[in-house]
Amino acid sequence: MTFNELNIAEPILRAIAEKGYTHPTPIQEKAIPVLLRGEDLLGCAQTGTGKTAAFAIPIIQQLYLDEFRVKTHRKIKALVVTPTRELAIQIQENFTEYGKYTDLRNTVIFGGVKQGKQTASLRQGVDILVATPGRLLDLISQGFITLKHIEYFVLDEADQMLDMGFVHDIKKLINLLPTKRQSLFFSATMPKSIIDLSGKILGNPERITVKPEQATAEKVDQAVYFVAKENKPNLLAHVILSEKAESTLVFSRTKHGADKIVRRLAKDKITAEAIHGNKSQNQRQKALGNFKDGKTKVLIATDIAARGIDVSELSLVVNYDLPNVPETYVHRIGRTGRAKASGIALSFCDVEERPYLRDIEKLINQKLPVISDHPYVDDSKEEVGKKPEPQAKKKPQQARKPGSTGNKSVWRRNKPKPKS
């Protein structure tokens, strides 16, 4: 199927064609017709499946074709709520790109910055608003925003919204919305808490699921390194210098850990920047901009801050710390292998993370290949049924200088051969 077969208006088709879109992704193919019919939607899809276009294109089209829309006195007709500043900005940029040949206006609001520019944009009138919950409620209480004209409501990354403690804010927003509206609810996972929340937002929705296992298994080459916790910094430097990737996204479990990794890489003359919740908005945007532009080849991120990172042709994802929630692994590696591209995802696993690895392998229904040809191999045995004792501090192994294994990368020399 092509986008031409989805009954999309010509100005939008022209805009997405300029972005190189010809064939819709599975969630776009399923969601766009449902939304153009005006039905509610409950969507379950991981990062990188194209869900922003899946809801943005129908919203733009329906507003563009609305003959009763007053262009001189614009009122907010579409609202997209998302958990992080980075993701809000990314979504707003997509609305701008897809709607460039329409007369629609959009803007984005988020906390962490002064509100002056945001309120000035609102005063000029907008059709589509993308927002984070805190700043949205703040500007509503100040009288800058009313939701009484909303016709299209999108709650994106709902699972992260709950993880970040926004559930009460979301419930407040729902009470402010008109009863008659089209509602779209997207989440990467569907635990009971998400199902319960969706029931308060949606009427009788169409449900669409794009299984993460398929995207993980088919599009991303994956492997794992067994390494002692204290040797992870050395191994990361070794991998970065060996791989020589154009862009590397490294996931750290904590904000403090992300900053520590940046300082450690600097010792090997590897320039990296960190992006996490303790950074100011300007710092985060500058680091993300440098990474997208290729000025910085290595970005260290926490899971929350990574939502909204959309880098075309991201070469390598490194799980410096394995996540304790297996679905998070799928979302992380979905940053590479986006759309129809391929990518590489490498994971570091210390002895205490072995149970996390088993959970991940169970979820994706495959055994991750182990790379053992590296200078920091850890062959510690995990005691089954017992939490490992804290490792005694030991002198790091004497090893070759990071990246000095020859011209061929460790990954490519150990890359599993495809099954015949």
Tokens representing 220 are: 């991303």
Q: Which of 258, 217, 240 is nearest to 343 (CA)?
A: 217
pLDDT at 144: 96
pLDDT at 388: 43
Q: Tokens 């709607």 sit at which residue?
A: 99
Q: Which of 8, 100, 17 is nearest to 61 (CA)?
A: 8
Distance CA 257, CA 382 (A): 24
Helices (H) and strands (E) in the chain, counts: 17, 13
DSSP conformation class of 178: -
Q: Are 59 and 186 in contact (CB under 8 A)?
A: no
pLDDT at 401: 46
Query: What would the 3-class secondary structure string for 128-152 be?
Result: EEEECHHHHHHHHHCCCCCCCCCCE
Q: Are 15 and 98 in contact (CB under 8 A)?
A: yes
127 CB-near residues (< 8 Å, 6+ apart)? 63, 69, 74, 75, 76, 77, 78, 104, 105, 106
Angle in degrees, CA 95, 98, 104, rounded to 5: 65
Count of C-beta atoms within a 10 Å radius of residue 169: 17
Q: Tokens 């990574």 sit at which residue?
A: 306
Helix, strand, coil abundance in the chain, percent, nearest 5: 40, 15, 45
pLDDT at 420: 46
pLDDT at 405: 43
pLDDT at 180: 93
78 CB-near residues (< 8 Å, 6+ apart)? 59, 63, 127, 128, 129, 150, 151, 152, 153, 154
Distance CA 136, CA 106 (A): 15
372 CB-near residues (< 8 Å, 6+ apart)? 226, 414
Q: Are 20 and 201 in contact (CB under 8 A)?
A: no
pLDDT at 338: 53
Give the CATH fold of the 3-210 domain.
Answer: Rossmann fold (3.40.50)
Per DSSP, the residues of 29-82 read: HHHHHHHHTT--EEEE--TTS-HHHHHHHHHHHHHHT-TT--SSS----EEEE-
pLDDT at 61: 96
The domain covering 213-414 belongs, at the CATH homologous superfamily level, to P-loop containing nucleotide triphosphate hydrolases (3.40.50.300)
pLDDT at 307: 62
Beta strand 106-109 with 152-155: parallel, antiparallel or unpaired?
unpaired
Domain with CATH 3.40.50.300 in the chain: 3-210, 213-414
Low-confidence spans in the chain with pLDDT less than 70: 47-48, 211-219, 281, 304-313, 337-342, 381-420
Angle in degrees, CA 82, 22, 91, rounded to 5: 15
Beta bridge partners of 78: 128, 152
CA atoms within 13 A on the CB side of 96: 10
pLDDT at 391: 42
